[in-house]
Structure formats: C-alpha cells, structure tokens
Amino acid sequence: MKAVLDHVGIAVRNLDEALAFYRDTLGLEIHAPEDIAPQGVRAHLVPVGQPALELLEATRADSPIATHLERRGPGLHHITLRVDDLEAALAHLRARGARLIDEHPRPGAEGAQVAFVHPSAAHGVLVELKQAARPRSSLTTKRLRWGALELVSAPDGPFALDGGAMFGVVPRPLWETLAPPDERNRILLSMRPLVVEADWGRMMIDCGAGDKMTPKQQDIYGLDRTRHLDHALADADLSAERIDVVLATHLHFDHFGGATCRRGPTLVPRFPRARYLIRGAEGEDATHPHERNRASYLQDDFLPLKAAGAIDFYDGDQVIRPGIRVVRTGGHTGQHQIVFIESGGRTAVFTADLIPTTAHIRDAWVMGYDLFPMETLAFKRQFIREAIEREYLIFFEHDPLVAAGYIREKDGRRFVEQVV
C-alpha cells in the first residue's frame, strides 16, 4: 500500500482560543470551516505546506471529538494518510488482522471517502485513511446555435498530463488549487473536438486521441476510453461517416490521434469520406520530429492519411471554408493555429493549446510543453485582450469541465463565464 500524509487532526475545546494561537500568533491562514454533520464535527483546515493541520470542534455532545475532549482533553486527535483506493486499503488491513473502526468507507470533508483504523492497531495513534474526491470531468455532448452555423462540442474522453508541464514556470502552489494533481502529479484534462455544421458540410476541428494507444500509453496518459468521440457523435445524431472535412490545429496525438484507426492489420482514415486539412509546414514538422517533440508527433496519426491521398495541404492564414478562419499562433509548435468561427456577427474561437483550460487565461500561464513560450506569451497577451473586448466565445479544448465560455475581467481579475 502507498500512502502520503494528508493532514493531522487536532481536537480543540475552544475554537477562539485555538485560532488565537494558530491564526493570530502563528499568523497562519485558516480556511472557512466545513461541517461534517454525520460526525457532529466542524473542521477548520490550516494549510501548512503539503499536509495540513485540521482544527476540529464538536458540534454535538455525542460527536467523537466531544468524547475525545472529555476523555483526553484537547490535543492531537488523529493523523490522516491518503491512499489511492480506500476499499483496497481496508481489505489489505483486514487481511492482516488490523482492528478497524470503520469496516467500510464513509463520507469525510471535501467530498472524500474516509475510514478510521483503531488506535490499538496503530500503537496508540488514531489513523484515518482517506481517498480524496476525484475532480469530476463533465464530458457531455453540447450543441450550440452560432449564427447560421451549428456547433457541436463532441468530447473524446478524459486524459491526464503532468501538472508541472501543463503550467510551465508557474509554481505548483499557484496551480494546484485550480487543477489538483493525482498521486503521479498528473492533472485531469479532456479532449473536446468541435464539429461545425454548415450549408457547405460538416467540419470536425481536431479529433481527439483515438484508439491506437497501447495499454501502457493509455496508463501513462490516463486515457479512459469508456466514452469517446464515437459516443459523442452518436449523441448528436452524427457519425464519423458523416464528417466531410477534418481540420487540424496541429498534429499532436491528443488533437489528431483520432484521425486514423486500425482496420485489421492496417491503419486507415477514421473519417472515410473526409478531406483532411493540414497546414503544410505543420505536416513537415510532424514528419521530421526531433528529441523535444517526438513523443507528441506519432507517425501513425498522419502517414496513413497521406498514403490514402486524403490530405489537402495549405499554407498561411486564410478563410478555409465560409465562416472558418485559421490563424497561426506559433508558440506551442512552430505552426500551431487557432480557428475563428464567424457567423451572424458573432465570433467563437477554438483556441486548442493556446489556452488549453480555463486555468490558462492568465497571460503568463504558458505550458512547459511549448517549443517557443515567448511567442505563445506575445500572441496570448494580445489575443486575450481582444477576446475580452470583443466578447469572443472561447472553446477550451482540454478543460475538464468547461467546453466554452467568455473570458471576463473585473477589478483586474480574470474569470470565465461558462456557456457550455
């Protein structure tokens, strides 16, 4: 079993006296209290680096904290170890004859599942085991009318990448509250390709990771293929066969892996009728990878398209179909581009890896993956200003919860008003 220290619980008789020490004397920041009604306890979390302190007061006479105070007075109450799988940890302890207070997990603070081990099994210390609540992703298919166009956000499922790499030079204490990392330091992301339905046909912008990855790669990237792009398309009464055009923002596997699929021993275009639109210079870069981008450009994602004669290469910023305009940002890759979707006087922008999640709306929050971060910063600074002023609807391709929203600014603080 692997476990990390999560917090140390301290029973307090008089909260004001405890705060006088922890908050006023030590000068620590104290979170707003949380009531854990089933246990008759109110908890005040005190962040102190990775593990926290937790000040616990009784809210009922029969709560375990009240009992503890009565028997032993105030002081150290429990330590909490965080585990990946609480049921498995309890089974592990049970098999070794450890005495448990809770045979099964029960709800704890912050949506976690917890269970207590009896102090007699832990040399006099009350040990709480905790399985933290996973940030849930919202991956439903969403449809939105956009002028004369119909937009369908069609998720290809969740995945996970190293949190540090996702936020570049931003220190972990700043990003971890927005994107809590798992035990392997990965944060939860999603892949959200976008379908545009127009009178000229159906365009798919990016197409997710697809299903060619080995179990080992799936584990590394936390891919969960229970629900993927095919399901999302079916939800919108669509299918791969009904897509006319596939447009790539760039050819990284999490954006373009879904372009091809296996049929028996061969790889074929996933969208059998579609023309695949790829910026020529991005195609060049992807087929001539170097040490720094080799893990992101998987040849199986695009070489079979070339063999099938399904690619239309183009060069430069342009209106690629009525209402669909591509603009090179550079930065993330040399030819990374975003897609402007303009109809009825309204502008939506599919920002791909320029603003991958809502946490990246700060100018300097640039991914460590970017090949040319200063280029990203320069483009982003100007683009976000424009997006706020002209109210562009922004599609966040990798956000676990928000498919699209408006970036707003109030009193110098930026936030996203979710639309879908």
- Residue with the closest Cβ to Zn ion? 252
Q: Per-residue x/- mask for Zn ion, residues 85 to 124, rule CB under 5 A?
A: ----------------------------------------
Q: CB nearer to Zn ion: give 197 or 353.
A: 353
Closest distance to Zn ion from the beta carbon of 30 (Å): 38
| Torsional class of 376: left (φ above 0), alpha (ψ -120 to 50), beta (otherwise) | alpha
Q: CB nearer to Zn ion: give 254 or 282.
A: 254
Q: CB nearer to Zn ion: give 63 or 357.
A: 357
Residue whose entry in the numeric block shows the structure tokens 């090949």 = 371
Are 81 and 5 in contact, with CB atoms under 8 Å apart? yes
Cα 158-164-169 angle, rounded to 5 deg: 135
Closest distance to Zn ion from the beta carbon of 184 (Å): 19
Q: CB nearer to Zn ion: give 59 or 185.
A: 185
Burial of 34 (0-12, 13-18, 19+ CB in 10 A): middle
Told to check if 252 binds Zn ion by CB under 5 A, we report yes
Closest distance to Zn ion from the beta carbon of 378 (Å): 18
Closest distance to Zn ion from the beta carbon of 353 (Å): 4
Q: CB nearer to Zn ion: give 106 or 328.
A: 328
Which one, of 105, 98, 106, 96, lies nearest residue 125 by Cα?
A: 98
Closest distance to Zn ion from the beta carbon of 388 (Å): 23
**Where does this chain touch Zn ion (CB under 5 A) — which range of 70-78, 104-112, 246-254, 337-345?**
246-254
Are 329 and 226 in contact, with CB atoms under 8 Å apart? no
Q: Which of 128, 254, 370, 399 binds Zn ion (CB under 5 A)?
A: 254
Which one, of 206, 201, 200, lies nearest residue 153 by Cα?
A: 206
Which one, of 387, 324, 277, lies nearest residue 148 by Cα?
A: 324
Q: Which residues between 324 and 383 bind Zn ion (CB under 5 A)?
A: 353
Q: CB nearer to Zn ion: give 78 or 336.
A: 336
323-354 burial string, b = 16+ CB within 10 Å, else e?
bbbbebbbbbbbbbbbbbbbbeeebbbbbbbb
The residues binding Zn ion (CB under 5 A) are 252, 254, 353
